[in-house]
């Protein structure tokens, strides 16, 4: 009974935090973009953006600690909720919570409107875009002005992120700083997983689609072009 009550409290907390986490993720990405892309803006705006970044981190920290307490898992919580643990440790991945929270809100209020394959492709694709944009910001922040850097503009960083997340890797622009390369490894690892999910779901959808067409055309065996079985068949 105690475990069931704990699960119910955890579920209520997670539902209550869906919207704040969604807003916090969007605020973090916007404030971080201001800090990186507008370095010469007024100090007041920079302070406000920095406060937004720190506030969102505090929100995620409180949410993480509360769910750790309510789950009753203790030291096993980080392993079972590894994405939340990684997002808390690496703010670079925090925009991924936008997709997670958005899908939860849609499921609770309206229900999914896409098929399973469609949802996987849509959410994985959106995650790839958000992760690529956040990584481009982080790498640009580290690379600009670094000795021997080939990523000198944000456009260079976006181009690099697109080639890295798709595992194309042209090599014309590459990170040279230690942290830039760390971010590159994170992006490539996540990119393989996300794009693999999109490719796998798309392939499964095609197989299912063609399977339905074959079943409709050939319900009892081979047929001619009009859907009728040939004479003597």
Each residue of 93-152: pLDDT tens digit? 766 666 665 555 555 555 555 566 666 777 777 778 888 898 999 999 999 989 999 999
Question: Which of 172, 74, 186, 77 has the alpha carbon at shortest distance from 136?
Answer: 186
Whole-number Å distance between alpha carbons of 53 and 176 = 26
pLDDT score of 38 more than 80 = yes
- Single pTM value for the model: 0.71
Alpha carbon distance 87, 95 (integer Å):
9
């Amino acid at each position: 009974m105690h475990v069931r009550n704990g699960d119910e409290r955890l579920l209520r907390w997670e539902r209550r935090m869906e919207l704040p986490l969604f807003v916090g993720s969007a605020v973090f990405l916007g404030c971080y973009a201001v800090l990186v892309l507008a370095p010469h803006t007024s100090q007041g705006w920079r302070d406000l953006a920095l406060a937004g970044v720190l506030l969102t981190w505090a929100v995620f920290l409180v949410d993480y600690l509360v769910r750790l307490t309510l789950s009753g898992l203790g030291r096993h919580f980080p392993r079972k909720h590894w994405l939340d643990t990684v997002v808390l440790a690496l703010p670079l991945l925090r925009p991924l919570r936008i997709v997670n929270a958005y899908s939860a809100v849609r499921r609770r209020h309206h229900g999914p409107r896409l098929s399973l394959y469609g949802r996987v492709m849509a959410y994985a694709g959106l995650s790839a875009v958000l992760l690529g944009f956040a990584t481009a910001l982080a790498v640009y922040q580290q690379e600009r002005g670094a000795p021997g850097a080939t990523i000198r503009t944000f456009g260079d960083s976006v181009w690099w992120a697109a080639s890295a997340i798709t595992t194309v890797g042209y090599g014309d622009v590459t990170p040279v700083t230690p942290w830039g390369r760390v971010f590159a490894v994170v992006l490539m690892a996540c990119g393989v997983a996300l794009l693999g999910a999109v490719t796998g779901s798309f392939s499964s959808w095609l197989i299912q689609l063609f399977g339905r067409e074959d079943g409709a055309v050939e319900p009892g065996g081979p047929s001619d072009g009009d859907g009728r079985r040939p004479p003597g068949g």
